[in-house]
Structure formats: C-alpha cells, structure tokens
Amino acid sequence: MENHNRIRGYGALLRRYIWILVVAWTVIIGVFLGRSVYLANKEVMDIAYFEAKMSIDKDILFRRWNAMQGGVYVTASEYTPPNPYLSHILERDIKLPSGKTLTLVNPAYMTRQVYELAQNEFDTLGHITSQRPVNPNNAPDPWEAKALEAFSQGKKKVSSINKMEGKEYMRLMYPFFIEQSCLKCHDIHGYKLGDLRGGISVSIPMAPIRAILQPRIAFTYIMHTLVWAIGLAAIVFAARKLNKSEAEREKIISKLQESISEVKVLSGLLPICASCKKIRDDKGYWNMLEVYIRDHSEAEFSHGLCPECMMKVYPDHYKKIEAFKKKDDG
C-alpha cells in the first residue's frame, strides 16, 4: 500500500510538472512572438521615419534653392495669383511685353503649392508654420506648437506617431532659422540673422507601410503558433507515455495487493473438522479443504494417496509396490 500511494504521489507530481512545462513553453513562445512583433512594428516606424526624413530633406533643399535665387518668377494665374504677403516687394510682379504678368514665388509660397499636390497625390501632409505666422494658414496645430516650443529650447527635430482626421501618420518636424537669403522677405517682420523663423513638418500616412509589412507580421504569428503547437504536442505525447507507465505500475501493484489479501484470508485460526477435515467458512458452511483453499487463493489441486492411506485403502497394491521397491533396491 505504501508503494501504491508513493506511485500515486509521483503521478500527481508529474502532472504538476507537466502543467508547469506547458505554461513555461507558452511564456517562452509568447516572449519570442512579442519580440518579433515588436521588431516588425519598429521596422514599420523606421521605414515611415526614413520616408518622412527623405521628404522633408528634399523640401528643405528646394526651399534653399528658391531662397538662393531670391525667389522665382512664374506666370500669374488663377492657380498662382500674386502673393499678397509679398506686396512690400517692389518687383513682386513684372509685366512682359507680351502682356503676360510674372509674379514672384518665394520659398514659402512654393512649398505650400507643392504640399497641396503631395496631399492630393500621395496623402502626404506638409506644412510650414511659425509662432508668428504672416499667413494665418501657417498657424501651428497643437502638435506643431509643442514642437516649436521644443525648438526654442534647443531641440533639433521632433517626431512621433499621431492621428489626424482618424488616420495614423508619422509626423516629423525640423526648425527653420533665418539665413541671409531669407531676409529679402522677412526683414520687414523684424527677424534677424540666426533667429528661429518657425518650422517645416511632414506627415507620412502609416496605412500603406503597415499594409506592406502586414503579411510578414501575419506569417510571424502563424509560425510562432505552429512552433507552440508542435512543442505542446510533444509535451502531451511524453506525458501520456509517462502516465501509461504509471498506470501499468498501478495495475501490477493492484494485482499484488489482491494476492496479499487472498493470502491473508487463509491466515489465522481456521475451523476444521477433526474427522473429515472439512473447513468452515465465514458464512458457516463446511467445505472440503481443497475447495476452500482453491476459492481463497490461486492454488490448484491434483489428487493422490500417501503411503499410509494406500496401505489402508489398497493393501494388496501397496504390498506389490513395496516389493517392487525392495527388488529394485537389491
């Protein structure tokens, strides 16, 4: 019984360890999955940031080129009317002999028009802004206002993921400082060389980038789930084999216990008839000795006669056997 209880205890302990192993395996796969998803999302962020940086660097170069030329002249039209915020420049408009009018397009005017095209074509948002905007359309939104405050404290750039009109964007903003070429338009507004003029921001939509990497992220989930399932199946298979081994041991022990119990039935004081040698069972019935032992154990009987009984029952046959033995011995 002690061994039986010990094996049962081992079985319970084994089941506990198996559950611990299942939980540990699940945690390990979860950690690796979380790390893989984190790295995939980080890659999405890095791609979006790189695209925003490329866009804003290009815009800054175009603005700088325009500023170095002192602005560029284009044909005045409904799409590009004379800029009212450049009315203080004497040569803002030039009349050609053909009758056409050329109007001055400064960096800010050019950038606004380029950003309008980018928004229509690619859903990319761009904005030039300032804490003291000349054009009300250049007033900063709350995110840009915080970025401008950070620039005034020395920060070189600001970026983050934000939602605008329900869409997710990677937003990046750089500061603008007054250069010599900027004074042609901004000297009248009290700016000096090196002053913080404002900032330029670009917002890249995240949805197209996430769509590109979504299959990869889905594949990551599938592969980790598959590995987890394979590992779990291996644990279950091993557990069943171990449980089967424990069950076989319990079956053997049960048989041994039954045999011991049967042997115990034969132990103690047995009522036996002094004449016919029958044994009385626990129900009061008298049974032949061999019947009683057979019913209470796995022993089987074969019948024969001892020499004393043979001499009594078959004296002639007994004498012949004895004579044969003496002759054989002689």
pLDDT in tens, 270-281: 676 666 667 676
For the segment 252-271, the average pLDDT, to the nearest whole number, is 54
For the segment 39-46, the average pLDDT, to the nearest whole number, is 91
Confidence of residue 263 (pLDDT cuts 50, 70, 90): very low
CA max distance for the chain: 165
For the segment 36-60, the average pLDDT, to the nearest whole number, is 92
For the segment 147-153, the average pLDDT, to the nearest whole number, is 92
Q: What is the pLDDT of residue 264?
A: 47
In the chain, beta strands by DSSP E: 72-75, 93-95, 101-105, 125-129, 158-164, 167-177, 196-205, 279-280, 286-287
Query: Per the structure block, which two tokens stand in for 323?
Result: 């004579």
Kindly tell me if the per-residue pLDDT of 125 is higher than 60: yes
Kindly tell me if the per-residue pLDDT of 44 is higher than 60: yes
Residue with tokens 């928004």: 119
Kindly tell me if the per-residue pLDDT of 124 is higher than 60: yes
Distances (CA, A) of 143 to 158, 163, 176, 234, 259: 10, 11, 16, 53, 86
For the segment 16-39, the average pLDDT, to the nearest whole number, is 89
> Mean pLDDT over all residues of the chain?
81
Torsion of CA 154, 159, 163, 168, to 10 degrees: 170
How many Å apart are CA 71 and CA 114, to the nearest integer? 15
Residues 6+ apart with CB under 8 A from 105: 66, 71, 72, 73, 74, 80, 83, 113
For the segment 192-210, the average pLDDT, to the nearest whole number, is 88
Kindly tell me if the per-residue pLDDT of 265 is higher than 80: no
Kindly tell me if the per-residue pLDDT of 188 is higher than 90: no
Confidence of residue 121 (pLDDT cuts 50, 70, 90): confident
Q: What is the pLDDT of residue 201?
A: 93
Please choose, from the candidates 105, 21, 94, the residue with its C-alpha nearest in 3D space to the C-alpha of residue 71.
105
Kindly tell me if the per-residue pLDDT of 28 is higher than 80: yes
For the segment 221-239, the average pLDDT, to the nearest whole number, is 89
How many Å apart are CA 225 and CA 29, to the nearest integer? 8
Confidence of residue 228 (pLDDT cuts 50, 70, 90): very high
For the segment 121-150, the average pLDDT, to the nearest whole number, is 89
Kindly tell me if the per-residue pLDDT of 96 is higher than 90: yes
Kindly tell me if the per-residue pLDDT of 259 is higher than 60: no
Q: What is the pLDDT of residue 19?
A: 85
Q: What percent of the chain has pLDDT over 70?
A: 72
Backbone angles phi and psi of 173, in degrees to 5: -140, 135
Strand, coil or helix: what is 200?
strand
Kindly tell me if the per-residue pLDDT of 203 is higher than 90: yes
Q: What is the pLDDT of residue 54?
A: 94
Q: What is the pLDDT of residue 206?
A: 93
